């Protein structure tokens, strides 16, 4: 575990914040080309995902074309229960529904997240609509610590093995959500960690 030089809040929302890093994100490796994977069957999408409340609102107010692209009405996208959590923008989250053993946003006739695909087709940065937790996976944030997801630590993540570091896979999204200064500091920590 390493402390960072300062607290890095989520841009525009203030939470979550990152002030420490679990250096296992530099060590653990995985097959990063999610769309090119032929062996996992989108297993990471079987449980759905926590979506912060402002992101729920953005998804629910997205153009009707997204609803058509997803192929299910907005009323089926999220569980009804709101979980209060101060580490999430808006103070809480709702979980995406799981339908037939997979997240409602999973592309069942292809691969990956329909929200991600739709944004790319529309020329919209996917980070504007795709849930933060999904974008950063397989790293996550808990009580200020940037760390490997539990699936990475317990080795249940199917794509663990040869490939890029968890950090490398999340680097672009970390920059989008938390700023380039955080990424510069993490890059320096990664270099230090890898040269030990």
Distance CA 16, CA 10 (A): 6
Distance CA 58, CA 102 (A): 22
Distance CA 6, CA 14 (A): 14
Check residue 109 and give its pLDDT: 84
Better pLDDT: 163 or 180: 180
pTM over 0.85: yes
Better pLDDT: 143 or 38: 143
User: Among residues of the chain, what percentage have pLDDT more than 70?
Assistant: 89
Check residue 54 and give its pLDDT: 98
* Sheet containing strand 50-52, strands side by side: 50-52, 92-95, 83-84
Alpha carbon of residue 35 to chain centroid: 15
Answer whether residue 158 shows pLDDT above 80.
Answer: no
Answer whether residue 182 shows pLDDT above 60.
Answer: yes
**CA max distance for the chain:** 52
Element (H, E) at 193: helix 180-194
Answer whether residue 163 shows pLDDT above 90.
Answer: no
Domain ranges of the chain: 2-34+41-194
Q: In 62-121, at which residue ranges do the beta strands (DSSP E only) sit? A: 83-84, 92-95, 98-99, 102-103
């Amino acid at each position: 575990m390493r402390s960072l030089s300062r607290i890095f809040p989520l841009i525009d929302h203030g939470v979550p914040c990152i002030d420490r890093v679990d250096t296992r994100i530099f060590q653990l490796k995985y097959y990063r080309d999610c769309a090119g994977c032929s062996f996992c069957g989108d297993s990471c999408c079987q449980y759905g995902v926590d979506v912060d409340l402002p992101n729920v609102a953005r998804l629910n107010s997205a153009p009707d074309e997204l609803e058509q692209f997803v192929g299910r009405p907005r009323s089926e996208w999220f569980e009804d229960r709101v979980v209060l959590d101060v580490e999430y923008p808006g103070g809480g989250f709702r979980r995406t529904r799981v339908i037939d053993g997979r997240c409602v946003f999973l592309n069942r006739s292809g691969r990956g997240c329909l929200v991600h695909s739709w944004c790319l087709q529309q020329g919209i940065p996917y980070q504007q609509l795709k849930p933060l937790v999904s974008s950063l996976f397989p790293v996550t944030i808990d009580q200020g610590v940037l760390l490997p997801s539990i699936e990475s630590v317990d080795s249940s993540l199917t794509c663990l093995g040869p490939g890029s570091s968890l950090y490398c896979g999340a680097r672009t999204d970390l920059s989008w959500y938390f700023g380039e200064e955080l990424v510069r500091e993490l890059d320096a920590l990664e270099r230090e960690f890898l040269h030990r």
